[in-house]
Amino acid sequence: MISVNRILSPVFFFTYVVIIVFVMLSMFLSIINETFGKVRRDNKALENELEIVEFMMERFKRWSNFSERRLMKKPTKTYNYTEAIDPKDVECDELRDKLSNMVDRLNQFIRSEKGMTGQKVEDRKIFLCP
């Protein structure tokens, strides 16, 4: 190149090197940027997986007695969600059934006691729903 033109050949070479360095630098930065975005998205999804792994390790430690001390915890109520059925409504229905059963048994008890003593239920002022 120097034999062809002593002034333009170094200028062309310097320009070529600068352009190639900027292109390579641009490619490098775009790869870094894309990888950074992917890692950020994966970390958001990974947080839940890490919680699950931590939960499983905690349960295994309790099961195998490797954990510190087992604390007596109150069992928490778990709800199974079914579409269009609210677990609170199911719980209220169960409570209503249990209360109805209790009232029926109390009425049977009072009727059987009334037969034994001869006393009227109204005289004892007990008010129960039918």
Cβ pair 114, 120 in contact under 8 A: yes
The tally of domains found in the chain comes to 2
Domain that holds residue 49: 1-73
- The per-residue pLDDT for range 42-79, each reduced to its tens digit, is 777 666 666 777 888 888 888 887 766 555 556 676 76
Cβ pair 121, 130 in contact under 8 A: no
Residue-level pLDDT at 125: 47
Residue-level pLDDT at 102: 92
- The per-residue pLDDT for range 83-129, each reduced to its tens digit, is 677 777 888 888 899 999 999 999 988 888 766 555 554 544 444 44
Burial 34-46 (b: 16+ CB within 10 A, else e): eeeeeeeeeeeee
- On whether both 57 and 99 belong to a single domain, the answer is no
Least confident of 4-8, 36-40, 107-111, 120-124: 120-124
CA 65 and chain centroid, separation: 26
Question: Can you tell me the distance from the alpha carbon of 51 to that of 86, in angstroms, rounded to the nearest whole number?
Answer: 27
Instruction: Give the predicted TM-score (pTM) of the model.
Output: 0.33
Question: Can you tell me the distance from the alpha carbon of 62 to that of 56, in angstroms, rounded to the nearest whole number?
Answer: 10
- On whether both 57 and 83 belong to a single domain, the answer is no
